[in-house]
Amino acid sequence: MGRWQPNARGRLTRAAYELYGERGYEQTTVAEIAKRAGLTERTFFRHFADKREVLFAGSEDLQEALVGAVTGAHESVAPVDAVTTALEAAGAVLTDREFSRQRQRIIDANTELRERELIKLARLAAAVAGALRHRGVPDLTASLAAEVGMAVFKVAWQRWLDGTGAEDLRGCVREAVGELKGTTTRT
Amino acid sequence: MGRWQPNARGRLTRAAYELYGERGYEQTTVAEIAKRAGLTERTFFRHFADKREVLFAGSEDLQEALVGAVTGAHESVAPVDAVTTALEAAGAVLTDREFSRQRQRIIDANTELRERELIKLARLAAAVAGALRHRGVPDLTASLAAEVGMAVFKVAWQRWLDGTGAEDLRGCVREAVGELKGTTTRT
């Protein structure tokens, strides 16, 4: 990012979201995104591999944050708690609900993007399970804690966007974790 | 299915699996599947919408079985137990591990099929959550029990195929449910 283009990435992201919302993801070209942002296509491709990448650019950061939090948890912490604590931390970072809602509307409207989103979640689960196994957690426990963690996050995320849960994502994650612990011990 | 074509569906399925395994899913045509099965393309299309459908034909049965079991569970049964009991019942029906392994190998080798499989699981979760809400289960509890149920099933399924869990899928589901209850109450 050159000094002569302050926050080019942010401008490109905003322009892409606007256009995806206005005319649809499929109908939008990279040339149009660059033009709307007042930048060149070349600049676009310095920041994103393609127009889909604009919507998924945060995935790697999220994965790194989750894996880092799981890896860094004290060894006395139970696997599922290491995962849910990591998810709460991730929830605290994602604060712009309107932006997330806009993104979700774009994704919901396109089959390819919905598929990509599901794959992203499956990869996150695999990465978290790997981090747990690396801590010496047995395979079944690791896989289950990771997959259940993703289930909790998915529900929390949906409720945050719907406005049916707490005001912030972290609160929605906490509600879902509380419900999980209640639900599985109720009988 | 005419009387003059006993088990055409089964023959087409076996032929498709063989060809997908031998030359790859993408490289196989419906004409080749029909030929290998000793049937016509027309017969193929009486049984399946396309060549992908051969691999996902069981999805609707599975969904019906799960939703039926959840709907039919006694009202005193806790939501998550209604789901796990339904999954155990589904596990008891899927008994041919070699067939399931063959299917998984075909799916793992193709991006489109992997995506389709993830979407299938997401739809199952939505259907199960819907069945719970229909029973009057509050939204958060319903969504969470359904998503956690799918997480359990995914892990059990993988372990059954890997041969790292119990010999039968039902046993693998039981192990995962036991681990879930232990995991979430350990702290």
Which residue ranges in chain B fall short of pLDDT 50?
1-3, 186-187
- A185 close contact with B: CB closer than 8 A: yes
Domain boundaries, given as residue ranges, for chain A = 8-54, 58-183
- Beta-carbon separation of B152 and A144 below 8 A: yes
Given pLDDT bands bounded at 50, 70 and 90, which one contains residue A185? low
- For residues A148 and A150, give the distance between their C-alpha atoms in angstroms, rounded to a whole number: 5
Candidate CATH numbers 1.10.340.30, 1.10.357.10, 1.20.120.450, 3.40.140.10; the one for domain A58-183: 1.10.357.10
Q: Where do we find the tokens 């993801």?
A: A25
- Return the higher-pLDDT residue of A2 and A26: A26
How many residues does this entry show for chain A? 187
Beta carbons of A169 and A156 less than 8 angstroms apart: yes
- For residues B112 and B51, give the distance between their C-alpha atoms in angstroms, rounded to a whole number: 13
CATH architecture of B58-185: Orthogonal Bundle (1.10)
For every residue of B102-171, which 3-state class applies, written as one string?
HHHHHHHCCHHHHHHHHHHHHHHHHHHHHHHHHCCCCHHHHHHHHHHHHHHHHHHHHHHHHCCCCCCHHH
- For residues B83 and B75, give the distance between their C-alpha atoms in angstroms, rounded to a whole number: 13
Predicted confidence at residue B3, as pLDDT, reads 44
Predicted confidence at residue B174, as pLDDT, reads 93
- For residues B86 and B89, give the distance between their C-alpha atoms in angstroms, rounded to a whole number: 5
- Beta-carbon separation of A180 and B122 below 8 A: no
Residue of A nearest to B78 (CA): A187
Amino acid at A17: Y
- What CATH class has B8-54? mainly alpha
User: Complex ipTM, two decimals?
Assistant: 0.82
**What are the tens digits of pLDDT across the range A106-123?**
999 998 898 889 889 989
Predicted confidence at residue A75, as pLDDT, reads 83
B119 Cα to chain A: minimum distance (Å): 7
Closest CA to B54 of B1, B90, B107: B107
- For residues A7 and A149, give the distance between their C-alpha atoms in angstroms, rounded to a whole number: 34
> Quick check: A99 pLDDT over 80?
yes
Structure tokens at A136: 């010496």
Name which of B79, B147, B176 is nearest A144 (Cβ-Cβ): B176
- Beta-carbon separation of B80 and A165 below 8 A: no
**What are the tens digits of pLDDT across the range A17-68?**
999 999 999 999 999 999 999 999 999 999 999 999 999 988 888 899 899 9
Predicted confidence at residue A93, as pLDDT, reads 82
